[in-house]
Amino acid sequence: MQRMYDFLRQQVNISEEDWRIFSACFEPKTYPAKTFYLQAGETENYLTFVDSGVVRFYVENGNGDETTVGFAFDGWFMCVYSSFYTREPSRYYGETITETRLWRIHHDDLQRMYDRLRIVDRIGRLATEQMLLIKSARELSLLTKTAEERYLDLLRLAPQLFRYVPLKHLASYIGITPQALSRIRKRIS
């Protein structure tokens, strides 16, 4: 939980008392590698801070093919916001790539904290902004950059992914086939 506290202290000026109240709402959860954190059809009930590990989010098309839409790793907040806020079943899967330790707060507890502590409302907004900026950057990248530029951006912004995430998932995330990714890697090495 220290990592989350340190992260929040960089973003907001949370008092010790507010931190004590807010942090008491979080529960730890550890998942082994290759375990579902969330499956399509389930409702996302938690806003989660990744203390350690890597989580991949993906969707399946009608043929069972997977498209990776995002990752979360050490020091990031995560959740499937569309499900979390609408309380409707998710269309996304969340799967751990490595053993992953999380701190999570239930939707209902977070709503109570929004009403009780003004700083928590700000924290929730910051977490939402972080996720929105990441999604917006990916969308713009897919629309305006070449596959090689997207690969180099990912390598620069999240080099840790290359240590843990299979190349087929990275290829899917940047919108290309594993074979195309292999050609890019060979060309620039």
Which pTM was predicted? Answer: 0.91
Q: Would residue 152 count as lying in a domain?
A: no
In a domain, 148, yes or no: no
Fill in the DSSP letter of residue 43.
Answer: B
Which of 35, 73, 28 is closest to 55 using CA atoms? 73
138 occurs within a structural domain: no
The answer to whether position 125 is within a domain reads yes
pLDDT at 33: 98
* pLDDT at residue 56, as a whole number: 97
| Contact indicator for 76, 58 with CB cutoff of 8 Å | no
pLDDT at residue 171, as a whole number: 95
**Domain coverage including residue 116:** 2-130
pLDDT along the chain (189 residues), means of 10: 92 94 98 97 97 97 91 92 96 98 98 95 88 90 96 90 93 95 93
What whole-number distance in Å separates Cα of residue 89 and Cα of residue 81?
Answer: 11
Q: Assess if residue 177 is contained within a domain.
A: no
Q: What is the CATH number of the domain that holds 56?
A: 2.60.120.10
Residue 164, in any domain of the structure: no
Residue at 187 is within a domain? no
Task: Examine residue 165 and state whether it is found in any structural domain, yes or no.
Answer: no
The count of structural domains within the chain is 1
